Structure 1
Amino acid sequence: MVEFIKLIEWLFNSRFKDASEMLKAIFEKTHYDEQIEDEKIKNILELISSAENISTKEFLDKVSLFTNMDEEINGDYVYLMTLHNTKGLEFPVVFITGLEEGLLPYCKAIKNDEDIAEERRLLYVGMTRAKDLLWLTGANKRKLYSKMQNQEPSRFLKDIPKDCCHWIEKITDKHQIKLTSIDAKDKLDKHFTLFTTGCRVKHPSWGIGVVRDCYGEGEDLKVVINFQNYGIKRIAVKFANLEKI
């Protein structure tokens, strides 16, 4: 351990003309050639040669983008990876999942503008990996911390020009709002239609939309609607003249 610390201190205080000189110095100082076979020594010498005439920073930036998949990228595979690991790669088709508030952007980043900006840049990196087709997906409901929770679409989706994408509303869990008491049911008038997740509605100002979620009952009945031209709206039914279509 002492020798290792001395080596790190020596590297920290040394000045190398390029990355190749640094790698060669590490190779010689550690006597690594005594611990590996000839074939691997050739690989290391080739690595040292490839680092000639570039700075250490440029070299590290370059190798940080390299993964084992670079050699297999033309294969007929499906790759599963984090957004951080997609840098430097490209694919004909890319699926990015979890475009929901609390996931992307991550919940701990929401209160900090700089963190939000970093999350946005991370999503941009992932989106630009697609050469032909990009799918951005999210869930209406997700089980988090052992509880089923309603999810809101990621705020980043609003930044994407509408003419650049096609929104597909896929509902897999249809449910109908049920009134739990006769009193609540009696309070409803003709405007309080029972909405179901996935049904289409028309608003006098925002036009046609799709119901994404419903909650509450009676006069507290609320719906979350995705309007084609206005995005997600959370509406109290008693104040909105909604028409089910």
Structure 2
Amino acid sequence: ARTIERLKAERSLPYQAFAVLYRTNAQSRIMEESLRRASIPGRIVGGVGFYDRREVKDVLSYARAALNAADDVSWRRVMNRPKRGIGDTSEKNLAAWAQRNGRSFADALRQVETVLAGTPAVKRVSEFVELMDDLSRAAEEMPASGFLAAVLDQSGYVEALKKEATHEAEGRIENLDELLNAVAEWQDENQGGIADFLDEAALLGSNDDRAVQAVNGEHPDDAVTMMTLHNAKGLEFPIVFLVGLEENLIPHRSTTASLQEIEEERRLLYVGVTRAQEELYLVHAESRLTFGRTEPTRPSRFLDDIPREMLQDTDVFGQDIDDPRHLSRFSRNAWKPAASPTSVGSGSAGAAGAGQAGSGFKGGERVTHPKFGQGMVVGLSGDGAKTEITVVFESAGAKRLLLKYASLERA
């Protein structure tokens, strides 16, 4: 997001000049949230937003149902996901009983021996109620990340997807893995429970300006395009970011046992590389959250095929790492937009400058956090109470923290 802002300001480019390509749908979550934080419009081609995906909505519905017995929509959504052998007729009879008696759907489930007397569904519904009782207790006692892991395990949701053994099911499992990562990241910064995370997820899923504009009959075209490599065929953009160029992402972990499939992955990457008309950014992370744990990554083997003279290594601020004036792996000076008649005094540039100036911290500065220990400041964004600071900690890796709650001290 920072690089897009910089290039847009320097070259007066529209947002539609930029595209972000990735190997799996699950990778879009970080891109969506990064663009949203920077107030950059984005659109996903060939898919829906992360929090609007069926499996993500299903698991979050489990959480809502566990917290609120009166949430009929969530209880009805998850009762048969994964399939438990509770038919549509049984569900309709339970809903009708609840409506006649002015009771919640959860109450109807607890009266199943009366409502569905003598049917095979009685045992299955009773098992589901027992599951939800266990999850309700877990929601009160466990941290957010631990609770969602329990939902995936105890509900049998992931196990059911594994039994499907399809590419679509594999993609849904990756989305659920990314949901665990999202909760782990949120928990590190906020230390709240699952109810607090649900409030955040509701905002992320519904506060999409483009969706609101579409409902109002408006169709803005100027937005950063996000899509998988498979969906990028036949399209071109002036500036392309190929993200996640790491082993197990590209080539994907499911393809590494076959030379033929690895070559197909290589061709897929070639499709992404050739989408760039003017400039191409090849991006890989040093570490990545996997099932809620931070693990080191290895750059994709395909990067070794590119001649070094065709590459320029840059840091997180777009500065040349090989430049002798570069003082460290991370730039000591955050990028600031050049003053121009069109940018001086503009809302976004002025706000960013004010937030960074008033924070008291600067890029390259060493700081100490009570939980994460020592680290280096590598970025500041936002302004006022919404100022966020990005720090690379020696033991915990990179963290983005809300400055007013970060409790940072100079080392």
Q: Common fold, TM-score beyond 0.5?
A: no
- Which has the greater radius of gyration? 1
* TM class by smaller structure: 0.3 to 0.5
Q: Return the TM-score normalized by structure 2.
A: 0.24
- Normalised to the residue count of structure 1, the TM-score between the two structures is 0.39
Kindly indicate which of the two structures has a greater share of residues assigned to strand: 1
Structure that is richer in helix per residue: 2
